[in-house]
Structure 1
Amino acid sequence: YPTHLMLKLMRNKLIDITQGIRSYRWGLKKFFKLGTYLQ
């Protein structure tokens, strides 16, 4: 693998991971809001 290709792949992977974490946290927030709404 050429180095720039590896870096590009790693960068894409990092972006995927951060977006996954963000959507996961957003889902948790929505879940907790729903929980407090139902109480």
Structure 2
Amino acid sequence: MNFQYPYALLLLIPVWIWAFIYYKNKIYLKKWKFVFQEE
């Protein structure tokens, strides 16, 4: 258990980074869509 726990967290780090980037890109794309709709 002591070995598996940090290893599992290490595997989750890329998932968290990917999710964060994906979420930010979604908000960014939504903002651009609003800008194009207004013009």
**TM-score, reference length from structure 2:** 0.76
Number of aligned residue pairs: give it: 38
Unaligned regions of 5+ residues in structure 2, if any? none
**Deviation beyond 6 Å, 4+ runs, structure 1:** none
- The CA deviation at 1:13 is 2.0
The root-mean-square deviation of aligned C-alpha atoms, in Å, is 1.3
- Unpaired runs of 5+ residues, structure 1, are none
SS of 1:34's equivalent?
helix
TM-score, normalised to structure 1, is 0.76
